[in-house]
Amino acid sequence: MKNIGIWMDKEKAYIINVKENNEEMTTIFSEIEDYRIHGGSGTKMKGGPQDVVQDSKFLEREKHQFKSYFKKIIPIIKDSDSIVIYGPAEAGEKFKKELDENYNDLSKKVNAVIKSDSLTENQTKALIRDYFKKSKSNYKAIKEF
């Protein structure tokens, strides 16, 4: 059984393949730009010069960058039997939504999307390893009844 845990944020994703006695980890970097909106009033006087802020242009570009980021992750997890997604922000939820819309077969394999703080690589491995150990023991307990 191939259990995959993904810890992701806008910057990077740690993809951990949990095996019997060890884990294999792959890191994918997102290349999503971190932008700041510059604009607004250049002066405190009423009627002073103002710049138009193009929010929609930045948000559209970010949406395409997320899709590109997710496309890098899909080939690594496509052979998995069970997937759990962790992360501190909305990246995990966006990834699950992308799976629901465009990768239905993978979407069915997602057990959970869980909010989590930023973690070190070792903490991430331990968190995902523990998740699958607990779910395996719960499965055995349910199966026995």
pLDDT score of 83: 94
Domains held by the chain: number = 1
Q: Does residue 95 sit within a domain?
A: yes
Nearest to 113 by CA among 8, 33, 14: 8
pLDDT score at 21:
76
| pLDDT band (50, 70, 90) for residue 121 | confident
More confident call, 5 vs 37? 5
Q: Does pLDDT of 1 surpass 80? A: no
pTM score > 0.85 for this model? Answer: no
Q: Give per-residue pLDDT as tens, 22-76.
A: 889 999 999 888 766 555 555 555 665 555 556 788 888 889 999 999 999 999 9
Please report the pLDDT score of residue 16 as a whole number.
Answer: 94
Q: Say if CB 8 and CB 85 are below 8 A apart.
A: yes
Output the CA torsion 82→117→94→1 (10° steps): -10
Contact 4, 82 (CB under 8 A): yes
Q: Is residue 76 part of a domain?
A: yes
**Could you list the residue range(s) of the whole structural domain that residue 57 is in?**
3-34+53-144
DSSP E strands, 33-128 = 40-41, 50-51, 82-87, 110-115
Q: What is the mean predicted confidence (pLDDT) over 116-141? A: 77
**Residue 43 belongs to a domain:** no
- Region 4-32: mean pLDDT is 90
Residue 40 lies inside a defined structural domain of this protein: no
Say which CATH number the domain at 140 has.
3.30.420.60
* Domain assignment of residue 44, yes or no: no
Whether 47 is covered by a domain: the verdict is no
Closest residue by Cα to residue 132 from 118, 116, 111, 106: 111
> pLDDT by residue (tens digit) across 78-118?
999 999 999 887 889 999 999 999 999 999 999 999 998 88
Split at pLDDT 50, 70, 90, the class of 6 is very high
